Structures are given as C-alpha cells and as structure tokens.
Amino acid sequence: MEVAISAVTGELVSRFISFLKNKYHSLSHAQSEKMVERLQHLLMRVSIVVEEADGRYITNSGMLLQLKMLSGAMYNGYRVLDTLRYQNLQDIAGYEKVSINDSSSSSSYLAIPFKRSRTKTEKDDKAMRLDTDGALESLEIVVANMVEFVVLLGGCERMSRRPYDVYLYTNNFLFSRHHEKQRLLNFLLGHNDSPGDHALAVLPIIGGVGVGKKTLVAHVCSDDRVRSRFSSILHLNGDSLLTILDHRRTMFRMTLVVIEFACDVSDDDWKKFHSFPIRISRGSKIIIISKLKTLGRFGSVQPIFLSVLSYDELRYLFKTLAFGSVDFVEHPRLVQIADEFAKELHSMQGTLVATNMYADVLRRNLDVQFWLCILDKGRRFIKRNLSIYGVHPTTLLGQGHPVDITDVALHPLSMRRYTINVAIKEELPSVTMGELLTDPNVRPKEDFIIISWESRMPPYNSFARLVTSNAQGTREDNALQGRKRRGVPM
C-alpha cells in the first residue's frame, strides 16, 4: 500500500513540476514576444531618424554627438533583437553535428550549440533579460530625447542624391561613420578666415589598416557641394610631397590636396610643402591620411580618429552583406553562424577587407554546411598562425610579415603584403581569396598573387597579397618564433 501511495505521489509531483515548467516557458515566450515587438517599434523609429540625418548637412556639434548615440543604440538593439528572435530555436535541439566535406580533406564535424545546457539555463536567461532590458532602456532614452533633434534636423540642408547614391546606400554603401562623415563635410565646406600661415586648413584622418580612411574621404569628396567648392582634388603620396610643384598651373583656384602618409615626415619637409599652396592658392585645404598618430601635429583642427567598428556595428554590417537581398529571418541557423563569423572578424581588429571578403563568399551559397566549412577554415587559419608565431595574422600582415595560409589553400603556402608592380603582376597568375576558399584546387602551382578584396566603391582599392611556398616564408621570419606565444582562441 505504501509503495502504491509513493508511486502515485511521485507521479503527481512530476506532473506538477512539468506543469510549472510549461507555465514558465509559456510566460517567458509571451514576454519574449512582447520585447521583440517593443524593440522592433523602437528600432523602426530610430533607424528612420538616423537614415534621414545621414542625408543632411549637420554642423551642430551637439547634434553630431546625439547622432552617434542614436546609431550606437540602434546597432545594439538590432543585435539583441536577433538574439530574442532565435533563442527559441536554441531550445529546440541539442548540439547538432554537421558533416563538412571538401575535395581535398577527410570528413570532419563541427558542433554548433543550438541548445543551452540545463545547468546554465537560469544564468543565461538572467543575462539575456539584463541585455534586453539594457537595449530597451538605451533605445527608450534616445527616443525620448529625439524630439529636439528631429526638429533641428528639419532645418539642416538636405544633400542631393543621385540614383547612384541611392544604390550605394542600399548595397555598396558607406556603413556607419555618420559622425565622422559630417565632421569631414563641415571641414571642407566651412570657411577659414584665420590670417597668415594658418590660412591653409589641415585635417588629419588617423586610423589603423583597413578601417576605411580612404573610402571615407572618397565618399565625402563625391558630394556635389564639395566638388563645386574646389576646382581640383589632388592625391599625393607622402614620400613625394614636393611633386605638388608639378601642379602649380592648376592651383590658382581653391584646391583640395589629399596626402597619404605611410611613414612620418620631418617638420622641415612639411614646412616647405605647406608654404607652397598658401602662396599659390589661398582657401585651399589639405587632408592627411595615415595610421600614424604623430602626424596629427600638422593639423590646424582636431584630427578625425577612425577606430574599428564596434562588435554590434560589425555584426550588423556582416549580416547585411552576407545575406544581401535575402530575408535572413528565413535562415535562422545561418544568422547564428553569422554571429560566430562576426566574433572572429572583430578579433581581427574589425578589418573591413576581411568582412567584405567573407560576406561575398557566403552570399553565393546560403548552405549551413558550406558556411560552417568556411568558418572552420578561418578559425584554423588564426589558430595555426598564433601557434607558429604567437601573433594574430592581422598584426603580422600589418607589420609586413608573412602569414601561413595552409588551412585556407590546403597546401603549405605563406602570404605577405604585396606592393603592386605592374611588370611582376603581368607575369604572375592571380586568384581571389574567395575562389581559393571555395575551391583550393584553383591555386596555381607557382608563386601567385591573391586578391583579398576589390572595393566596389571609390577609390576602388585592390588589396593584393603575394603567395609563396610556406617554407620560404618561414625561413624569412624565423625570428618571430622566439616571441611569447599567446593563448589560442577556439
């Protein structure tokens, strides 16, 4: 009798616990749906204002700061919105193993976590609630303070947009950089009434490799008001500053001089260069482009410092590029893999070249197995270089050292920064990084040029690398082996 009562009691307790769990999940799901709806509503309002602001000339520094806060809250909100949308998917199944096959390697498996472990569910739910509450609070604050911004925005002159500009905005667009773009426009269109030697305004634009310095300048210089203000735009190399003398006949009207510096320049050389445009053409302006902060000393105004995109910005950009015109809501598993790509790319200092390159490859094949295969190659590429050199491959390339691309090419090869020489380029075969990632068999048998990315936007830069045998690259950089090795991310 006692055994029967114990069994019945156990069954009742089990059903009661099951009922409570179902009730909890129902409430959680309902709350999640309400949060998704609230986030979507707020994001729609903020994104409309950000897009409208991006199409107007803003000279008020306070408005520029508020625009930066608006865009930051917007990208953070989009990340949280995606997490909320697909957290139910993470609770459906356990770790799903997907077979990855390629033509030159044996089958391997990757486990992508689609379900949180039971021991961490409560902790993860709490973190998700805090993240969601934080995103909602940030959006609600910026929306509440947006009324004055919108009113003032209505008094800002609208930029003229040609059909090509609209196309840029929806596809080949200048992503983010709203604040920096407006500052550069204000510098170029503002009047400089300072007397004497300071009549020639100089703006340094400082940032790391691949953050978009030249793209920002090219985008702003294509503006109709900028082009009508300056009779000509000269692009110079910092190694040959005095070649500006060759342009003396064209500098009797206002000229914009854009100089790219790869290394520092002496103060004496700068004074010689700087005095010439002042004598010839007052009202001209100079933009300095460099990764060297020391060159900021030549600026007549505060430099524009371009940092890498935040994780939320990079994630939004990568997802937009990778899915293109396809509705990513229909591919929830790919969205989760895109998140993993964004994390790896952000660890690579947020390089826009790699972001565009990977997104272009993935957009051509919206298959889970294919995306996981490319992700695995990228991770093994980083892991191998950290293991060999103790330095991240992005840092190695930036310093001119070779990196090992065996895991990409499935063949012992090394890649290094390449200064394009026309004669050599004609002799050596070339392939794109996308082609090599998709099919390693396309690699030439001899040394070749690999095109990491060719920009679709002005100034249409081509990012080329020289690929040689891995043994040769290893001998050349044997000194790196003595560096302290860092932990390898998985």
pLDDT digits (tens, 9 = 90+) for 282-324: 678 899 999 999 999 999 899 999 888 889 989 998 998 999 8
Specify the pLDDT at position 251: 58
298 and 322 fall within a common domain: no
Give mean pLDDT, residues 175-199: 74
What one-character-per-residue DSSP string does 215-258 give? HHHHHHHTSHHHHHH-SEEEEEEGGGGGGGGGGGGG-SS-EEEE
CATH number at residue 283: 3.40.50.300
Beta bridge partners of 468: 414
pLDDT at 188 over 60: yes
Specify the pLDDT at position 247: 59
298 and 333 fall within a common domain: no
413 and 468 fall within a common domain: yes
Specify the pLDDT at position 121: 57
Give mean pLDDT, residues 357-368: 92
Specify the pLDDT at position 374: 94
Instruction: Identify whether 4 is part of a domain.
Output: no
Q: Which residue, chain included where needed, has tokens 């000229």?
A: 255
Number of domains in the chain: 3
pLDDT at 346 over 70: yes
Give mean pLDDT, residues 127-150: 83
Containing structural domain, residue 54: 20-153
**Sorting pLDDT into bands at 50, 70 and 90, what band is 401?**
confident
Angle of helix 2-54 versus helix 121-144 axis, rounded to 10: 30
Specify the pLDDT at position 125: 66
User: Average model confidence (pLDDT) for the chain?
Assistant: 76
Please report, for residues 57, 145, 148, 152, 333, the alpha-carbon distance to residue 155 in angstroms, rounded to integers and kept in the order given: 10, 18, 11, 5, 44
146 and 36 fall within a common domain: yes
222 and 142 fall within a common domain: no
Instruction: Identify whether 168 is part of a domain.
Output: no
Instruction: Identify whether 460 is part of a domain.
Output: yes
Side by side, which strands form the sheet with 304-306? Answer: 232-237, 255-261, 285-290, 201-207, 304-306
Which two tokens mark 117? 């472990």
pLDDT digits (tens, 9 = 90+) for 229-244: 888 888 888 877 766 6
Instruction: Identify whether 130 is part of a domain.
Output: yes
Percent pLDDT > 90 in the chain is 19
Specify the pLDDT at position 337: 93
Instruction: Identify whether 383 is part of a domain.
Output: yes
User: What SS3 class is residue 302?
Assistant: coil
Specify the pLDDT at position 302: 92
pLDDT at 356 over 70: yes
**Sorting pLDDT into bands at 50, 70 and 90, what band is 263?**
confident
401 and 290 fall within a common domain: no
Instruction: Identify whether 178 is part of a domain.
Output: no
Q: Which of 277, 303, 329 is the last residue of a domain?
A: 303
pLDDT at 23 over 60: no
Q: Which of 25-39, 171-185, 376-390, 476-490 has the lowest mean pLDDT?
A: 476-490
286 and 336 fall within a common domain: no
251 and 399 fall within a common domain: no
pLDDT digits (tens, 9 = 90+) for 2-18: 555 555 445 544 554 45
Instruction: Identify whether 10 is part of a domain.
Output: no
Residue with more model confidence, 103 or 200: 200
pLDDT at 339 over 50: yes
pLDDT at 480 over 70: no
Cα 54 → chain centroid: 18
Give mean pLDDT, residues 134-155: 87
Is the peptide bond between 393 and the residue preceding it cis, with omega within 30 degrees of 0?
A: no
Contact at 8 Å (CB) between 385 and 399?
A: no
Q: Which of 303, 324, 343 is the last residue of a domain?
A: 303
Q: Which of 131-135, 159-163, 294-298, 333-337 has the lowest mean pLDDT?
A: 159-163
Residue with more model confidence, 134 or 182: 182
251 and 332 fall within a common domain: no
Contact at 8 Å (CB) between 136 and 119?
A: no
Specify the pLDDT at position 419: 59
Specify the pLDDT at position 86: 74
pLDDT at 81 over 90: no
Which two tokens mark 71? 């865009």
Element (H, E) at 336: helix 332-347
**Sorting pLDDT into bands at 50, 70 and 90, what band is 458?**
low
Which two tokens mark 341? 């790509």
**Sorting pLDDT into bands at 50, 70 and 90, what band is 92?**
very low
What one-character-per-residue DSSP string does 72-102 give? HHHHHHHHHHHHHHHHHHHTTS--EEEEEEE
Give mean pLDDT, residues 129-155: 85
Give mean pLDDT, residues 110-133: 57
Instruction: Identify whether 39 is part of a domain.
Output: yes
Per-residue b/e over 252-261, b at no fewer than 16 CB within 10 Å?
eeebbbbbbb
pLDDT at 366 over 90: yes
